[in-house]
Amino acid sequence: MAYHSFLLEPISCHAWNKDRTQIALCPNNHEVHIYRKDGAKWSKVHELKEHNGQVTGIDWAPESNRLVTCGTDRNAYVWTLKGNVWKPTLVILRINRAARCVKWSPKENKFAVGSGSRLISICYFEQENDWWVCKHIKKPIRSTVLSLDWHPNNVLLAAGSCDFKCRIFSAYIKEVEERPSPTPWGSKMPFGELMFESSSSCGWVHSICFSASGSRVAWVSHDSTLCLADAGKKMAVASLCTETLPLLAVTFITENSLVAAGHDCCPMLFTYEESQGALTFGGKLDVPKQSSQRGLTARERFQNLDKKASSDTANATLDTLHKNSISQISVLTGGKDKCSQFCTTGMDGGMSIWDVKVRNPRGPLRLG
């Protein structure tokens, strides 16, 4: 694994270009900075300044090489590279609260924005008028949409919200695509159709992710749970109450394994056992190096007992790579079905790249 400290402040969000040589990130302000890998170093090559509020979401379309950003200024911009300059195009989202997350669709002809206006804006390009328009998905969302993920069929969209629910909607736009064929989530997919809604967990849904095939969707909530809905089992939901602090980001790395991370500052592995319909914790992927423990004097022991009611010699510094909560995970290589590398960014301003090694195809996953 490799760790790079970009900032002393949180990285609000990040996105990688197609060949993973450049990373676009928001350094906790109104801008987007793009860094390019130069051997072992990272050099800042672009600064994108257009938003009037913090940039809350960035997504980089791999094929068309366009960026889309959204922010608390209630706007989204699509950025195109002209020569060596990124040129923004404003997209009117018609929302009256902050935008919180944005994702390009797999075919890159649409993108979805989740916001505090309790709706999702599905944006597509209208050729005749030469600009981006959007349609809203509102019902039955009751609170801020925190996270979005597209199904590989370019139509279905999963949304995690502060009303404690995970939902799958149809974001079918007849102007830009053909009618979709039936999926395990349903066959009729008019725009805005609710295909799946989870029963309430007790926490805001921070992150949501479709598996590579699209037949499974997983989400993490603020009540320290991880849930997975399996369309192949009539949308049965498996959930796991974890022993950790709430997780903030989750992704599939194979059809049956997930990596999630959050306020415990380290990525963790989870496995879905299809036959039993159960999720299990597979261990933390960040093995802290054993710091040498010097003995405590009697006076220090007494002070510990007095102050902390414990004579535990564990020190107060974090042994994990990230020194603060991890807020985002992205798959770097291998896709969501055979991920061999993923990236985490967090509130410590750092970015870490993790290798996933598969010892044998049916054996447990290990971290390199």
Partner 1 sequence: DRRRTGEALRAFHTAIRSSPGSSRSQAMKEQAQGTMLKVLTSFKSSEIEQAVNSLDRNGVDLLMKYIYKGFEKPTENSSAILLQWHEKALAVGGLGSIIRVLTARKTV
The residues binding partner 1 (CB under 8 A) are 200, 202-203, 222-225, 241-246
DSSP structural state of residue 183: B
Q: How far is the CB of 202 from partner 1 (least distance, A)?
A: 4
Task: Give the shortest CB-244-to-partner 1 separation in angstroms.
Answer: 5
- Nearest distance from residue 206's CB to partner 1, in Å? 12
Cβ distance to partner 1 smaller for residue 226 or 321: 226
Q: What separation in angstroms does the CA of 18 have from each of 59, 203, 238?
A: 11, 34, 33
**Which pair of tokens denotes residue 15?**
């996105």
Q: Which is nearer to partner 1, 54 or 244 (CB)?
A: 244
DSSP 284-349: ES--------PPPPHHHHHHHHHHHS------SS--SSSSS-EEEEEEEESTTTS--EEEEEETTS
DSSP state at residue 186: B
Which residue, 153 or 224, is less far from partner 1 as judged by CB? 224
- Nearest 5°: phi and psi at 233? -120, 45
CB of 318 to partner 1, least distance (A): 14
Nearer to partner 1, 242 or 345 (CB): 242
CA separation for the pair 189, 181 (Å, rounded): 9
Whether residue 62 contacts residue 78, with contact meaning beta carbons closer than 8 Å, is answered with no
Q: Which is nearer to partner 1, 246 or 350 (CB)?
A: 246
Rounded to a whole number of angstroms, the minimum distance from the CB of residue 243 to partner 1 is: 2
Tell me how far, at minimum, the Cβ of 41 lies from partner 1, in Å: 37
Nearer to partner 1, 242 or 325 (CB): 242
